[in-house]
Amino acid sequence: MNSTNGTRERIIEVAKSRFHNRSYADVGIREICDMASIQKGSFYHFFPSKRDLVLAVIDNFALDWANGFVAEAFDPLLPPMERIDYVIDAAYFWQRSSKELNGHIPGCLFGNLALEVSTQDDVLRAKLNAVFISAKDRFKDTLDEAIEQGIIPPLDSEFTAEAMLAYLEGMILLAKAKNDPEVIYRLGSALKNIRIELNTH
Amino acid sequence: MNSTNGTRERIIEVAKSRFHNRSYADVGIREICDMASIQKGSFYHFFPSKRDLVLAVIDNFALDWANGFVAEAFDPLLPPMERIDYVIDAAYFWQRSSKELNGHIPGCLFGNLALEVSTQDDVLRAKLNAVFISAKDRFKDTLDEAIEQGIIPPLDSEFTAEAMLAYLEGMILLAKAKNDPEVIYRLGSALKNIRIELNTH
DNA sequence: CTTGCATTAGACCGACCGGTCAACTATATT
DNA sequence: AATATAGTTGACCGGTCGGTCTAATGCAAG
């Protein structure tokens, strides 16, 4: 019943890597097929269009992410604010090792795609936004826990979580523009001190 | 001696708008020529390649920026920390009015381009990075002034400035992904409280 | 009026784009 | 063994890509 060769998975894996290291528009179906050692016909057997592929890639990568370093960083056994430091560490080491492998920083796939396609495809944009929302929620839960335990004074955990995500994406953007992972290392310490007070609106 | 028609300037203006609202890869020479009401021959008379065009667009936009809202926001007559608030206001109103005009948030041209091309073209990346560095320097000068006047406690102004820029770009990224300028409004208040202490390295 | 140069026009190029299609093969079910 | 179906092949499609080229303009100086 299950595909034996896992061709579909191979396509997604190749596309994920290519999209992440270059851009959605710059990577063609032909190239993806070549790298997955298949023919175009096979590709279109599994995906109706390039757009459907990138949709699947986003799902796949969001899952990787959730099960991978996000699960590690937001480990409930860690003290809440240490989890936030862990996020920085994970981002730093990931970008650094990517640079060692490929010579350049790929940045965040979701951030890259969001800036590339948001103005052109609202469905894609919404899907990317959903990933950001779930990332924000992780931060929010952590902040709520820290407040409850009296580790940090009360704040607007919803907005602060969003602000932390913004700062994280911004650091990665700047690191990519500099092609220097150390940016994340240098700026990371400020992440957990970001605060948005309650009732300022 | 000077070109009368300003064809070159028209090309840059059109390209700037298209690149900003869509993406570098997605906008073709043909489309730019159509919108500038010229033929391909004219385009290639002024620009050897599409890449040279985007280089010129970056220069042009950086100048617009420096003379426009950056000059306004970093007005030496304003109290230092108010300048930083002004940056947020400017970003917010700009994105909001762009959305009213086009239905979507274009984000920051430099951020968009940086994420799109940084891994593919090192010269382009370096040019974008230079724009970010000069933006960071504006923040740094402001912070140094605020410290000197005793308005804020001493901090690492270089890194804090970089962190502020990262946060700004991150907010814009998230706002674009949500297609909602209010993100900038909501999160903006945290910008001027970002701090990176001295000697933490 | 002529020369010379900057600018413009638009046909044209090969390459590649995303996508289609009919034929073929492998595999599982009956 | 026969059949159905999932997977695969590779030729093919119209269209667009970035870029070239030649010929025709406009215009200013001699």
Domains of chain A from N-terminus onward: 49-193 (1.10.357.10)
Give the pLDDT score at B3.
45
Tell me which chain B residue has its CA closest to the CA of residue A117.
Answer: B22
How far, in Å, CA of B128 to CA of B119, rounded? 12
Residue A30 CB closer than 7 angstroms to strand D?
Answer: no
Please tell me the distance from the alpha carbon of residue A103 to that of residue A98, in angstroms, as a whole number.
Answer: 7
Q: Which residue of B has its CA nearest to A168?
A: B170
Are the beta carbons of B107 and A118 separated by less than 8 Å?
A: yes
pLDDT in tens, A74-115: 999 999 999 999 999 999 999 999 999 999 999 999 999 999
pLDDT digits (tens, 9 = 90+) for A131-173: 999 999 999 999 999 999 999 999 999 999 999 999 999 999 9
- What is the pLDDT averaged over residues B142-159? 98
C26 C1' to A13 CA distance, Å: 24
Q: What are the chain A neighbours of B163 within 8 Å (beta carbons)?
A: 167, 171, 187, 190
Q: What is the pLDDT of residues A15-65, one digit of tens each?
A: 999 999 999 999 999 999 999 999 999 999 999 999 999 999 999 999 998
Note whether B177 contacts A119, CB cutoff 8 Å: no
Q: Is A187 within 8 Å of B163 when comparing Cβ atoms? A: yes
Q: What is the pLDDT of residue A2?
A: 42
Nearest nt by C1' to A53 Cα: C18
CA distance B3 to chain A (A): 35
A70 vs A87: CA distance, rounded Å: 7
Residue range B160-171: mean pLDDT, rounded: 98
Report how far apart the first and last C-alpha atoms of chain A are (Å, whole number).
55
> Which residues make Cβ contacts (< 8 Å) with residue B70, sequence separation at least 6?
B135, B138
Residue B42 CA, nucleotide C1 C1', distance (Å) = 29
- Asked if A162's CB is within 8 angstroms of B187's CB, the reply is yes
In the structure encoding, which two tokens stand for residue B148, read together? Answer: 């000197």
One-letter identity of residue A137: D
Query: Å between A57 CA and D13 C1'?
Result: 28
B186·A162 Cβ contact <8 A: yes
Q: Which of A174, A183, A189, A196 to mutate to test the interface with B (most CBs of B within 10 A)?
A: A174
DSSP H or E stretch at residue A92: helix A80-102
Q: Which residues of A touch B22 (CB under 8 A)?
A: 119-120
Tell me which chain B residue has its CA closest to the CA of residue A160: B187
Query: Encoding tokens for residue B125?
Result: 């990346």
Question: What number is the ipTM of this complex?
Answer: 0.95
- CA dist A184 and A93 (Å) reads 9
Distances (CA, A) of A143 to A83, A161, A162, B136: 10, 7, 11, 29
Confidence (pLDDT) at A45: 97
Distance CA A167, CA B84 (A): 16
